Amino acid sequence: MTDKKQLKARIRARMAKTGESYTAARRHVVGATAEPRDGDWVFTGGRHPDSAVVAALTGLSEPLVFLAGGGIGAGYILWEFKRHDSVHLTLGFRHQWQYPGRWMAQTLDRLGVPYEHHTTAGAKGAARKLAEELDAGHPCVVLPDRYTVGYWHLPPYLDGHGGHPVIAYRRSGGMVHLDDRGTAPILVPQDRLDAARARVTSYKNSLFVIRPAGQPADPAPAVREGLRACVEALSSPSDSFSLPAWRKWSRMMTDERNAKGWPRVFAGGRGLAGALLSLWEGVEPVGMDGGNLRDLFADGLDQAAELLDTGELKGVAEEFRRVHGLWHELAETALPASRYGRIRELTAAVRESLLSEGTASEADAAELWRLRQEAGKEPQQADLEAMGRLLMGIYEAESAAMARLGEIV
């Protein structure tokens, strides 16, 4: 028991320090281990929710799935809610990040994987369909609201804020077994999962059934098409949904005249903590969505270089690994461990306990959100000029790397 606690502590400490995902931190601390199981179900882990579920159900590597899905994306929106006196930072790092269902369908179509996509407004019909598929031994991809599904132990004000894809692979005793990139089953009461699936209107009761599970014969065409889609999307002039979003964000960090400039939105440091915390959790893989994904993209480019017999992709992969480092530097600048160490430690602890044991620590989650709320009530400081410079560097580096990728594919 002591050895297990020490191992968990080492994994959590690495996650909090480096911002790594649970999978990466565990691999570094433990090394390669046998794949854990829950009966016939094998846990394969993963970094990004969308690509991880497709990889688990097809046998493809996650980096290649990510490329087939269009690779990286870019998105920056700063929402202000006057009614609730709150600000919400939204960042997008995956191709078509604002359309989870569309991304899933398009990726499976490219890969030539047979699937069925079910949606219904009726709660009873949705619950019945999921039960039928699970009882028939068919794993399903579902999109539950994170607050409603319960296992993240989020505060009530995040009710209905959305979630990410997970695999439901069995039900027994009124509980549904879920795989959310961990090494242990997450057990959720079926009625709670049904409510969580129905909570978000834009993808209400979405259910993907992949039939049959199995690796596509030749993923090369899908990977090539996905890379071309990535280049096309990130060559767009949109400053909300393409690479210019990073340039816009860079300027907003120090713009004192623009109503959306951070010096005006967070005047005197009021409300800044929430944005900084969202930035760190969104950019770093220790968060719930897989982070900035530039490292996953780089791994995919390395594999694609062999698959497509195009060695030039390895050079682009190195560029995106360098960019991943720039994103990490931005996150460290925004939320330094010297000031926010306990919050970072608790974020890692909640994620580690969930993925290794199938249940997040309620005590750690309660302390985490209490500290986040307390930080939000106090004026905070941040080096906005340094953050703006880093963002401009990211914009320039990603633009150059994407232009190079466009010449290759």
Residue 176, CA distances (Å) to 14, 97, 121, 172, 248 in order: 31, 27, 21, 7, 43
248, pLDDT greater than 90 = yes
- Segment 93-129, tens digit of pLDDT: 999 999 999 999 999 999 999 999 999 888 899 999 9
- Segment 343-353, tens digit of pLDDT: 999 999 999 99
Residue 291 lies in a domain: yes
Q: Average pLDDT, stretch 314-327?
A: 98
Residue 184 lies in a domain: no
* Number of structural domains found in the chain: 1
Expressed as residue numbers, the domain containing 316 is 2-40+68-96+219-408
pLDDT of residue 255: 97
Residue 265 lies in a domain: yes
Residue 193 lies in a domain: no
Residue 228 lies in a domain: yes
pLDDT of residue 377: 87
- Segment 17-76, tens digit of pLDDT: 888 888 788 878 877 666 899 999 999 999 999 999 999 999 999 999 999 999 999 999
pLDDT of residue 292: 98
Residue closest to 295 by CA, chosen among 19, 86, 41, 1: 19
Residue 111 lies in a domain: no
pLDDT of residue 348: 94
- Segment 265-287, tens digit of pLDDT: 999 998 899 999 999 999 999 98
Beta bridge partners of 42: 37
408, pLDDT greater than 70 = yes
Q: Average pLDDT, stretch 205-227?
A: 87
163/9 Cα distance (integer angstroms): 27
Between 6 and 401, residue with greater pLDDT: 401
Residue closest to 22 by CA, chosen among 389, 14, 334: 14
What share of the chain in percent tops pLDDT 90?
83
pLDDT of residue 214: 59
pLDDT of residue 32: 60
pLDDT of residue 215: 65
pLDDT of residue 85: 58
Between 117 and 213, residue with greater pLDDT: 117
If one counts every other C-beta atom within 10 angstroms of the C-beta of residue 233, the result is: 20
84, pLDDT greater than 60 = no
pLDDT of residue 79: 85
Query: pTM of the entire structure?
Result: 0.94
pLDDT of residue 35: 80
Residue 120 lies in a domain: no
How high does pLDDT run on average in the chain?
Answer: 93
Give the phi and the psi of residue 140 in degrees, each rounded to 5.
-130, 145
Q: Average pLDDT, stretch 378-405?
A: 97
pLDDT of residue 177: 98
385, pLDDT greater than 80 = yes
Residue 352 lies in a domain: yes
Give the phi and the psi of residue 166 in degrees, each rounded to 5.
-135, 165
* Counts of helices then strands in the chain (DSSP H, E): 17, 10
